[in-house]
Chains A and B, each alone.
Chain A
Amino acid sequence: MSSNSQTLTSVAAPDAVTVKSPPAVPGKRNGRAKKNKPTQRRHSLMARIRRDKVMLALVLPGFAYFVVFHYIPLAGNIIAFLDYKPYLGFVDSVFVGFDNFGAMFSDSAFWVALRNTLVITGLQLVLFFPVPIVLALLLNSIMSKRIRNFVQSVVYLPHFIGWVIIVAVFSEILGATGVVPHVLENLGLPRFDAMTTPEFFPFLVTIQAVWKDAGWGTIIFLAALMNVDQELYEAAAVDGAGPWSRMRNITLPGIMPVIILLLILNLGSILSVGFEQIVLQRDNVGPGAGEVLDTYVYFHGIQDGQWGPAAAVGLVKGIVGLILVLGANKLAHLFGQEGVYSSDTTK
């Protein structure tokens, strides 16, 4: 398609100056635009604005949204440096420099929240991460299209169920009167309430995450599996390689780049756990086990009114998280991967 439009542009290009609204130019910027730049810049800028006025008007509402709800609040992080009082507002609250950050480091609850966050994300890296890969390999090995589509649909469904519902459903299954305690009791094992046992909390949220998103996570691996050159399999089979050998020597190396990429990106988000999931269940197990960085910010800031210190925690988390994600992306590039935020998307 791109080669088609390339030729089309070059045909249309000579008309572009005279036609009032010339065609959009797909493909890379062509030579014409570059050549005109130095001499006709001003003129062509006004002409382009006039030409694009409809397109610009269409872009503006979305742009305004991003500015108002993402960029201005980003600047609002200034309250991390204020002794913010809601009745004083931003302007009149006292500037306290890095005091809030000092308060953060000397608050033991912050360190508990940090530890809980790392325990949960670490556990999810070990227990959650491999599940979609194995599931994708299994799905990929199913030859019957009908069965494959059915199983895919079933495992995608939980992704669309909200956390409130999931927590309610899990209380019904794992809670005091649920199936699992009954089964445990019948097996002669001690019954325990998985929903309220603090030591079990990291496992609980991991199990819930697997139930919700492991199926959905197969999408990217299934795409990677489809991109493996199918002729390799045929050639290997002709040469006498069995199914396991093909899996080890063709399939796994074929999807390894995607696995490494996702692993790196996961490492980049180790400070983030599902906020909604945890804020719903924190009080079941108490802050000792259930407090993570995001819930710390919420409960200390918005609930208890310690705006400044809580915002400081949020800001540090955001900055470290950004550095980790950018670093992880860089690392992915070093591994020869495209990365998620490659300049590719902007072409």
Chain B
Amino acid sequence: MTAWARNLRAGSERPVWMEKPKPGMQVVKLAALVIICFMALYPLFAVLATSLSSQTEIANNNGLVIFPKEPTLAAYRTIFAGGVVTDALLRSLVITVVGTALSLAVTVCMAYGLTRRDLVGGRFFLMTALFTMLFSPGIIPSFLMVKELGLLNSYASLVLPTLMSAFNLVVVRSFFMNLPQELFEAAKIDGAGDFRILIKMVLPLSKGVLAVVGLFYGVGYWNAFFNAMLYLNDDKWPLSMILRQYVLLGQPMGDSAAVAEIAVPSQAIQMAVVVVSLIPIVIVFPFLQRYFTKGVLTGAIKG
């Protein structure tokens, strides 16, 4: 066993009764873990590598660059020079931030209201929400609803139809109900109103679950493309639709003439757009993943 392997065992929590695994087994397990992590991460790395490559390098390697020898930011300079991608990126950021804030607000309010067990109509409101987990009204009626509301080609059509998920509502409500109710009852006796208790006491105690549910909503808005495809004209497209148009369908962007003038391979630009759409997810995820490994969610789901 190498020093490295001994190091691995340093953080071990092996119970005393458990036998040490055979070295062969250890190696197999370690290899499996390395392969799993490789398969999860390599595709993302490959995209990054291509986005940093020059046209000649991509051409010389028959389209495949494992590791760029002379990394260049040319592709990023092109897409950030202004134009379609920059606009779409800003649009996506605004939609994601505004949408997540609205979704969280509506979800938190409804979840908090439903924590009162003998709320008038409480059971009815809760069942109304829960039942939506069982059915989807269908693509066509949903489309017609947005059309009838006059939301076609408005940014509201990206937010309102997916404003809240019953699943997130249940997660938040379960969390609220597991908070120590005695605190709130004491505050109420001291004269605090329901809304004041929500703002001053419940929310500060709920940062973890708000972060998780906020991440779900945020990722949803950031990644969504179908509503944009259905409802928006191309001058309002978010980044995900630009990605689809340019990378998946291979169709030119609006300012393709400007792009053609700069000698940058389109494959590198395509992959640079992919990297740009990955960045917010990769930045936010590490701050929130500890909540998943800690099991905030599973507790709530089971509740």
Contacts and interface: CB of A to CB of B under 8 A. Distances in A.
Interface of A: 1, 4-5, 8, 12, 19, 21, 23-27, 29, 33, 45, 48-49, 52, 54-59, 61-63, 65-77, 79, 135, 138, 141-147, 149, 151-158, 160-165, 167-173, 176-179, 182, 211, 215, 219-220, 222-223, 226, 230, 233-234, 237-238, 242-243, 275-276, 279-280, 294, 297-298, 301-302, 307, 310-311, 314-315, 317-318, 321-322, 325-326, 341, 345-346
A156 to B, nearest CB: 6
Contacts of A302: 139-140, 143, 230
Interface string B103-128: 00011011011111111111101111
The 5 closest A-B pairs by CB, nearest first: A162-B223, A177-B63, A62-B110, A76-B141, A73-B137
Interface stretch (B28-36, B67-75, B82-90, B253-261): B28-36
A153 B289 contact: yes
A341 B248 contact: no
Contacts of A226: 295
Given A65-B160, A154-B37, A168-B247, 17 more contacts: A23-B184, A26-B117, A59-B109, A63-B110, A73-B145, A77-B141, A138-B33, A147-B11, A157-B289, A164-B277, A169-B44, A177-B267, A211-B43, A242-B19, A311-B140, A345-B303, A346-B130
Given A69-B142, A297-B139, A302-B143, A55 B113 contact: yes
13 contacts: A24-B184, A29-B117, A61-B109, A66-B129, A69-B161, A143-B12, A144-B8, A155-B37, A165-B274, A276-B226, A297-B138, A301-B139, A322-B135
B134 A173 contact: no
Nearest to B138: A314
B62 A177 contact: yes
Contacts of B80: none
B285 A62 contact: no
A300 to B, nearest CB: 10
A223 B298 contact: yes
A21 B163 CA distance: 31
B226 A275 contact: yes
Nearest to B223: A162
Interface residues of B, number: 121
A182 B66 CA distance: 11
Given A73-B145, A234-B15, A172 B117 contact: no
A73 B142 contact: yes
B182 to A, nearest CB: 6
Contacts of B169: 62
Contacts of A57: 113
Contact of A182 (B62, B181, B198): B62
A219 B292 contact: yes
B12 A153 contact: no
Interface in B136-170: 136-145, 149, 160-161, 163-164, 166, 169-170
B40 A168 contact: no
Contact of A176 (B63, B189, B286, B297): B63
Given A52-B120, A138-B32, A234-B17, A62 B182 contact: no
B234 interface: no
- A52, A58, A163 — which one has the most chain B CB atoms within 10 A of its CB? A58
Contacts, number: 321
B243 interface: yes
B211 interface: no
A45 B137 contact: no
B162 to A, nearest CB: 8
Contacts of A142: 29, 33
Interface of B: 8-15, 17-19, 21, 29, 32-33, 36-37, 39-44, 46-47, 50, 62-64, 66, 106-107, 109-110, 112-123, 125-130, 132-145, 149, 160-161, 163-164, 166, 169-170, 174, 177-178, 180-182, 184-185, 188-189, 193-195, 198, 215, 219, 222-226, 230, 240, 243-244, 247-248, 267, 270-271, 274, 277-278, 281-282, 285-286, 289-290, 292-293, 295, 297-298, 301-303
Contact of A8 (B182, B215, B290): B182
Chain B interface, DSSP helix/strand/loop, else mixed? helix
A83 B122 CA distance: 40
A317 B64 CA distance: 43
Contacts of A1: 178, 180
Given A55-B116, A164-B225, A302-B230, A172 B46 contact: yes
A218 to B, nearest CB: 10
A145 B194 CA distance: 42
Given A172-B47, A310-B140, A165 B223 contact: yes
A311 B126 CA distance: 28
A279 B180 CA distance: 46
